[in-house]
Amino acid sequence: RRLFLSPSVPGSVAGPLPKRGLRLDRDSPANAQRQSRRAGSPEQEASLEPVGDGEAWLEPCGSAQLQEMENLLASDDQELIGDFSKPHLLPTVEGKDPGLKYISPGTLAAVLSGHYSSFIGSSVVVDCRYPYEYEGGHVKGAVNLPLQRDVEESLLEGPILPQEGGKRVILIFHCEFSVDRGPKIRSCHEYPRLRYPELYVLKGGYREFFFQFPGHCEPRDYRPMEHPAFREELRQFRGQSR
């Protein structure tokens, strides 16, 4: 329950801040868009680039994308992140658990490609699968934290501090399908004192991401949890998970 607790934040909050009239923070796309118009940001001249082996394409991080993010953050219907300080940066999709925020494989690929670098200071992909699954193929740069104690030790003993300039720290959790292990570990936190208030779950998990964006995976492969060669490892880790 102490996961993500921060002693620097008050222990109680009356409730969410009103959404209407919400001021965009310093890292908002509105400010970034105005600055890029003045400075002639190279992002405005970005062109479409294929991901991986050309299986899928990402939108350029130009003025149209900045406008889309500005509209997303300014929307009255957009829910605030865990500490109620600002709206979610990443576009979300419907998932199994309505209490969690899910993102699509395409959104994760955009984050990995740097399309949100103007607003994100640090992003961590947390792979909650068992080690033999991770070793058989994982998202590039992802950290393997299969058990709750692993998450607590990694993210609390060496916490990621707030970024300069108001840039965000976001965590993205997933398992094989993001149906059980990923959402379960991600939800082990306690409101309203959050160490990491902006967290997401990758919809479809590693399986769906690998099939859409194999170029963002290493090794470029997918090992299922119930692989017949790792039955003993599966039995052991299931016992630890309980």
Query: Could you tell me the CA-to-CA distances from 27 to 120, 145, 175 in Å, in that order?
Result: 9, 29, 30
Residue 17 lies in a domain: no
According to DSSP, the β-strands at 56-58 and 49-51 are antiparallel
* pLDDT score of 180: 62
Span 157-207, pLDDT tens digits:
777 877 678 899 999 999 998 766 555 555 444 544 467 889 999 999 999
Whether residue 222 lies inside any domain: the answer is: yes
pLDDT band at residue 83, thresholds of 50, 70 and 90?
confident
Residue 24 is predicted with a pLDDT of: 42
pLDDT at 9 over 90: no
Chain-wide mean pLDDT for the chain? 74
- Stated pTM of the model: 0.65
CA-based nearest residue to 29, from 64, 78, 79, 81: 64
Whether residue 130 lies inside any domain: the answer is yes
The pairing of strands 120-127 and 168-174 is parallel
Residue 172 lies in a domain: yes
Q: Which domain holds residue 132?
A: 83-241
Query: Is 150 inside a domain boundary?
Result: yes
* 217 catalytically annotated: no
Look at residue 70 in the predicted model and tell me its pLDDT. Answer: 65
- Write the single-letter amino acid at 206: Y
- For residue 34, pLDDT over 50 is answered with no
Identify the CATH number of the domain in which residue 227 sits.
Answer: 3.40.250.10
Per-residue confidence (pLDDT) for residue 78, from 0 to 100: 57
**71 vs 42 pLDDT, higher one:** 71
The pLDDT value recorded for residue 71 is: 65
Residue 25 lies in a domain: no
Please give the pLDDT value at position 173: 94
pLDDT value at 222 more than 70: yes
Phi, psi of 240 (to 5 degrees): -70, -35
The winner for highest mean pLDDT among 9-18, 38-47, 82-91 is 82-91
In a domain, 101, yes or no: yes
Mean pLDDT (whole number) for 135-152: 92
Check 61, 175, 188, 217 and give the catalytic one: 175
Q: Which of 26-40, 76-90, 207-221 is least confident?
A: 26-40
Low-confidence winner among 37-51, 82-96, 154-168, 216-230 (lowest mean pLDDT):
37-51
Residue 156 lies in a domain: yes
Question: Which one is predicted more confidently, 76 or 128?
Answer: 128
Number of domains in the chain: 1
Tokens of 190: 């306690």
Look at residue 110 and tell me whether its pLDDT is greater than 90. Answer: yes
**pLDDT for the residue 157:** 75
Please state, in angstroms and rounded to a whole number, the distance separating the CA atoms of residues 9 and 177: 34
Q: What are the structure tokens assigned to 49, written together?
A: 């680039």
| pLDDT for residue 181 | 54
